């Protein structure tokens, strides 16, 4: 079964609205979670590293005010795409590391379509 749950799996929204995506680790505590974006036929691109109880670390070129990340607990991180535009349409994937096992587990991904 899934050890990282991501929700929603699909979301369609109007341009200008905000969308929140949740990422939960189910069987372990994740002090660090990662958020990625993947455009069609392209590789995963790391957007930000989310650390529990502290501010996220954003990769170069990722707008922190547009992609708000909150990691309030050891099992939940959220990504909010604010004022979404059609160019934000993409596949967003989270991952969480089970520190004890050293392995990285992925959520099922969220496909965002902005009309």
Partner 1 sequence: RKEVEQDPGPFNVPEGATVAFNCTYSNSASQSFFWYRQDCRKEPKLLMSVYSSGNEDGRFTAQLNRASQYISLLIRDSKLSDSATYLCVVNTWGDDKIIFGKGTRLHILP
- What is the closest distance, in whole angstroms, from the C-beta atom of residue 93 to partner 1 in the complex? 5
**Angle in degrees, CA 50, 72, 110, rounded to 5:** 60
Least CB distance to partner 1 at residue 83 (A): 26
- Distance, in Å, from the CA atom of 53 to the CA atom of 37, rounded to the nearest integer, reads 23
Give the nearer residue to partner 1 in terms of CB position, either 45 or 82: 45
Q: CA 79 to CA 100: how far, in whole Å?
A: 25
Distance CA 115, CA 100 (A): 42
Helix (H, G, I), strand (E, B) or coil at 46: strand
CA pair distance 33, 56, nearest whole angstrom: 9
| Shortest reach from residue 100's CB to partner 1, in Å | 13
Judged by beta carbon, residue 15 or residue 103, the one nearer partner 1 is 103
Question: What is the contact surface with partner 1 in residues (CB under 8 A)?
Answer: 6, 32, 34, 36, 42-44, 46, 49, 91, 93, 95, 102-109, 111
Nearest approach, Cβ of 50 to partner 1 (angstroms)?
A: 11
CB nearer partner 1, residue 18 or residue 42: 42
């Amino acid at each position: 079964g899934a050890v990282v749950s991501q929700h929603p799996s699909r979301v369609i929204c109007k341009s200008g609205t905000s969308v929140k995506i949740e990422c939960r680790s189910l069987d372990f505590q994740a002090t660090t979670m990662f958020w990625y974006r993947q455009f069609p036929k392209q590789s995963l691109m790391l957007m930000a590293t989310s650390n529990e109880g502290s501010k996220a670390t954003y990769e170069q070129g990722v707008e922190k005010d547009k992609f708000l990340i909150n990691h309030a607990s050891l099992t939940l991180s959220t990504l909010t795409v604010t004022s979404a535009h059609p160019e934000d349409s993409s596949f967003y994937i989270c991952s969480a590391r089970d520190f004890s096992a050293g392995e990285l587990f992925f959520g099922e991904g969220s496909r965002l379509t902005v009309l």
